[in-house]
Amino acid sequence: MTTPALSLKNLCKSFGPAKIINDVTLDVAKGERHAIIGPNGAGKSTLFNLISGLYTPTSGTVSLNGTLISGVAPYEINRMGLSRSFQVSNIFSNMTVRENVRCGVLHSLGQGYSFWKSVTSSKEVQEKTWEVLEHCSLLDKANTPAALLPYADQRALEIAITIAGGAEVILLDEPTAGMSHSETDRAVELIRKSTEGKTLLIVEHDMGVIFDLADRISVLVYGEIIASAPPSEIRGDPKVREAYLGDEALPEETA
Ligand SMILES: Nc1ncnc2c1ncn2[C@@H]1O[C@H](COP(=O)(O)OP(=O)(O)OP(=O)(O)O)[C@@H](O)[C@H]1O
C-alpha cells in the first residue's frame, strides 16, 4: 500500500475538560481532494490547526508522507511540504500581487524576507513567480497593489501564495467564504487548476463547492468523523442527513 499524503491516527484535542477532537482517524491519499464538512463548531478549524502544527494534539498522531509531524512547529511542517491558507486573508495589502506571490516563492526557498538584498535578480524566483501568477489567472493584475484587488481576487491571491511554495499538500480553509455565485465558480476552477496533482484538504461551508470539487468527503460532528466516503455516498447517508437537519441542506444530485 502506498503511504498516504496525510494520516491522522486516533487524534484527540481537548481544551480543559472540553473534548473538541475525539479519536479522529483518517488517511488522505496522494493526489486526493478531500473535504471536511460539518456543522458550526464541529471542530473543523481545530482539526486544521492540529494538522498544520498550530496546536499540539492531546493524544494521537499526524503524519505527512509517513513522517510524524505532531508537535513539529508550523514553519517546519511548511518546509516539509504542507501549506495552508486561512479564512482571514493573509496577504500584504501594500505590496503588489507579484510581490506577494514572490514572498511565497522566497519563503519556500528558505530565503524568508531577506529578499531585499540580491534575490530580485534570481531567475528561479522570477520564473516561479510568473508561473504561479499565470496558474492563478492573476497575470494581468501582477502590478496591482493587493489592497486594490476585488475581494475574490484577494482570495485568489491567497491561494496563489499558498501554492507558490510548491507544497504537495494544500489545506484550504473556506476559500469561497463571502463570494458571489460567479466568484465562487471562478474560485472552484482556480482551486481545481492550481491543485492539480497535489493533495488537497478543504474546509468549506458551500456544499455546492464541496460536492463539485471533492473526491472524498469526511463529515465531522462534535469532533468525530461520522462518515468518510465519495460525494455520491455521503449525499445518501442517513447519519449525515440527520447531522445536517436544520443546517445547510445537502445538494441533490443534478446530472
Ligand atoms: N483555543 C480554544 N480554546 C477553547 N475552546 C476552543 C478553542 N478553539 C476552539 N474551541 C472550541 O472548539 C469548538 C470547535 O471549534 P472550531 O472553530 O474548530 O469549529 P468549526 O467546525 O471550525 O466551526 P465553524 O464552522 O463555525 O468555523 C467550538 O466549541 C470552540 O468554541
Would you say residue 82 has pLDDT above 80? yes
Residue nearest to atom 18 of ligand 1 (CA): 43
Q: Which of 11, 21, 44 to mutate to test the pocket of ligand 1 (most atoms within 8 A of CB)?
A: 44
- Cβ neighbours of 7 (radius 10 Å): 21
Ligand 1, atom 9, lies closest to the CA of 46
- The Cα–Cα gap between 116 and 59 comes to 42
| pLDDT at 243 exceeding the cut of 60 | yes
Rounded distance from Cα 164 to ligand 1 centre (Å)? 29
The Å distance, Cα 176 to ligand 1 centre, comes to 20
| pTM of the shown model | 0.85
Whether the per-residue pLDDT at 89 is higher than 80: the answer is no
Ligand 1 atom nearest the C-alpha of 20 is: 12
CA 157 – CA 138 distance, rounded (Å): 8
Residues flanking ligand 1, CB < 6 Å: 15, 20, 38, 40-46
Query: Could you tell me the residue ranges of all domains in the chain?
Result: 1-81+167-255, 92-166
| % of the chain with per-residue pLDDT over 90 | 49
Choose the weakest-confidence range: 107-111, 135-139, 221-225. Answer: 107-111
CATH topology of domain 1-81+167-255: Rossmann fold (3.40.50)
Q: Is the predicted pLDDT of residue 87 greater than 70, yes or no?
A: no
Nearest residue CA, atom 16 of ligand 1? 43
| Ligand 1 centroid – CA 59 distance (Å) | 18
Distance 212 CA to ligand 1 centre (A): 26
Q: Which three cell numbers stand for residue 225?
A: 468523523
The minimum-distance atom of ligand 1 relative to the CA of 42 is 21
The more confident residue out of 194 and 65 is: 65
Q: Check pLDDT > 70 for residue 253.
A: no
Distance 46 CA to ligand 1 centre (A): 6
Tens-digit pLDDT profile for residues 25-60? 999 999 999 999 998 899 999 999 999 999 999 999
Distances (CA, A) of 51 to 6, 76, 171, 177, 189: 9, 12, 9, 21, 25
If we measure between CA atoms, which residue out of 192, 159, 240, 37 comes closest to residue 48?
A: 37
**Which band of pLDDT confidence, cut at 50, 70 and 90, is reported for residue 246?**
very low
pLDDT at 167: 84
Most confident of 124-128, 163-167, 224-228: 224-228
What tens digit of pLDDT does each residue of 153-195 get? 888 888 888 888 778 999 998 888 888 888 888 888 888 888 8
The more confidently predicted of residues 39 and 252 is 39
If you measure from the C-alpha of residue 124 to the centroid of ligand 1, how many angstroms do you get, rounded to a whole number?
40
Phi, psi of 97 (to 5 degrees): -60, -45
Q: Mean of the per-residue pLDDT values for the chain?
A: 87
Tell me what pLDDT residue 201 has. 96
d(CA 216, CA 243): 18
State the Cα–Cα distance between residues 95 and 64, nearest whole angstrom: 32
